[in-house]
A and B are shown apart, each in its own frame.
Chain A
């Protein structure tokens, strides 16, 4: 049995007919072709599938389509304007915080959620916000510096 969903996706009102038991991750990747959101572990441990749901970072592999009617969803494709990179994206590149890149969309969404909540985060705040995002490549140092640097720059604007 299919249901009709209406919600906001990256700032636009969208509607779709789908199965309520489909994972939000699959809805985004397969139905909306937003493949920036990645699937790593599928069980809520790696953070590659992180998106913003009503301004909070959540794992899209742990949410069912039937749960999101009326909500506001932002994916990695929705954080920047037109062809300009978001400060976080720019800083991740500058700091060498992207290697294979698989964790990057999730990392950036978690960092984005943090900066919405705390524009001037402490080192501890950053660790806390990124604790659910695993990276096999970078060793995290570059990622943390990229977030610190982004916070600094975004507060100046």
Chain B
């Protein structure tokens, strides 16, 4: 049995902000995390007594290009992201990650912001959003603030959002035309698997020179993370000068430094290093 709840379904963003500033409410969109959490009486949600459903607010569902940025409404579902031409043409790694999330039924409900708003380490949208240098827009009745996603994600299950704020948009520079990249996901089975290892790599090659390189981990680190130091060792180099094996080993070691040795380490780190090695090799060869 789910405990006694209040649920508002406003049709404007102003109304959402007004409720958030006057009472202790939580936002619900797809509900794919919250509803089963309520049902099993998870401690994560047991203090929530008032919800605001944001599915009726059209502007939070939109995906559009404004000047040289792509704006994704926080309540855009993964199905709408998979079906969006704007996303598949300009942010293919995000399209790929979205298409592999949950099942059809989950993708039809689950939303992009809902995927990472709790900063669970297994959020598949995070590695692509990090390599694309995504920023997020937080709005309250009084204020709007725009911060990089990497800054928003503080630590496991902790972010920079304030109780009176709503995350309204994810904003990504539209400048990845000449990049190619890939999103890697290893889950325990096909379909509804929760990810064990995820990462995204994005590369720009010009005349055999790597002019940009971005790497972000997902499920394997406690929170999604870019590897700026390692990226710098590659940017500016000729393809044939890059020591891919060393780079993959360094990434594995850095992850080990962050996570420490756990029961799954002997399995995960070699798998990760191998997958990173093959991915970078493939991207450097121009594929």
Tell me the chain B residues, 30-75 only, with Cβ under 8 Å from chain A. 30-32, 35-36, 38-40, 51, 53, 55
With A21-B5, A47-B103, A64-B35 already in contact, the answer to whether A59 and B51 are too (CB < 8 A) is no
Choose among A22, A44, A53, A69 the residue with the greatest number of B CB atoms under 10 Å from its CB: A44
Interface size in chain B (residues, C-beta < 8 A): 30
> Is there a chain A Cβ closer than 8 Å to B79's Cβ?
yes
Tell me the chain A residues, 49-70 only, with Cβ under 8 Å from chain B. 50, 53, 56-59, 61-64, 66-67, 69
Instruction: Kindly provide the distance from the CB of A63 to the nearest chain B CB, expressed in whole angstroms.
Output: 6
Partner of A131, one of B4, B39, B104: B104
> Is there a chain B Cβ closer than 8 Å to A120's Cβ?
no
Residues of B contacting A63 in the complex (Cβ-Cβ under 8 angstroms): 31, 35, 109
Question: Do residues A67 and B108 form an inter-chain contact, with CB atoms below 8 A?
Answer: no
Question: Do residues A57 and B108 form an inter-chain contact, with CB atoms below 8 A?
Answer: yes
Question: Do residues B103 and A61 form an inter-chain contact, with CB atoms below 8 A?
Answer: no
Instruction: Kindly provide the distance from the CB of B209 to the nearest chain A CB, expressed in whole angstroms.
Output: 38
> Is there a chain B Cβ closer than 8 Å to A23's Cβ?
yes
Question: Do residues A66 and B103 form an inter-chain contact, with CB atoms below 8 A?
Answer: no
Residues of A contacting B109 in the complex (Cβ-Cβ under 8 angstroms): 58-59, 62-63
Question: Do residues A132 and B5 form an inter-chain contact, with CB atoms below 8 A?
Answer: no
Q: Is the interface of A mostly helix, strand, loop or mixed?
A: mixed
Partner of B35, one of A47, A56, A61, A110: A61
Residues of B contacting A44 in the complex (Cβ-Cβ under 8 angstroms): 32, 36, 102, 105-106, 192
Residues of B contacting A67 in the complex (Cβ-Cβ under 8 angstroms): 7, 9, 28, 31, 53, 55
> Is there a chain B Cβ closer than 8 Å to A153's Cβ?
no
Number of A-B contacts (CB under 8 A): 100
> Bound complex: CA of A61 vs CA of B35, how far in Å?
8
Residues of B contacting A61 in the complex (Cβ-Cβ under 8 angstroms): 35-36, 39
> Bound complex: CA of A152 vs CA of B282, how far in Å?
40
> Is there a chain A Cβ closer than 8 Å to B3's Cβ?
yes
> Is there a chain B Cβ closer than 8 Å to A43's Cβ?
yes
Question: Do residues B104 and A132 form an inter-chain contact, with CB atoms below 8 A?
Answer: yes
Instruction: Kindly provide the distance from the CB of B25 to the nearest chain A CB, expressed in whole angstroms.
Output: 13
With A43-B40, A44-B105, A132-B192 already in contact, the answer to whether A62 and B9 are too (CB < 8 A) is no
Instruction: Kindly provide the distance from the CB of B125 to the nearest chain A CB, expressed in whole angstroms.
Output: 17
Residue interface bits B101-128, CB-to-A below 8 A is 1, else 0:
0111110110000000000000000000
| Chain A contact residues, CB within 8 Å of chain B | 1, 3, 19-23, 42-45, 47, 50, 53, 56-59, 61-64, 66-67, 69, 110, 113, 128-133
* Top 5 A-B pairs, shortest CB-CB distance: A132-B103, A21-B5, A66-B7, A20-B7, A43-B36
Contact sample, A vs B, 19 pairs, CB 8 Å cutoff:
A3-B7, A20-B6, A20-B7, A21-B38, A22-B2, A42-B39, A42-B40, A43-B36, A47-B103, A57-B108, A59-B32, A61-B36, A62-B32, A62-B106, A64-B5, A67-B55, A131-B191, A131-B192, A133-B103
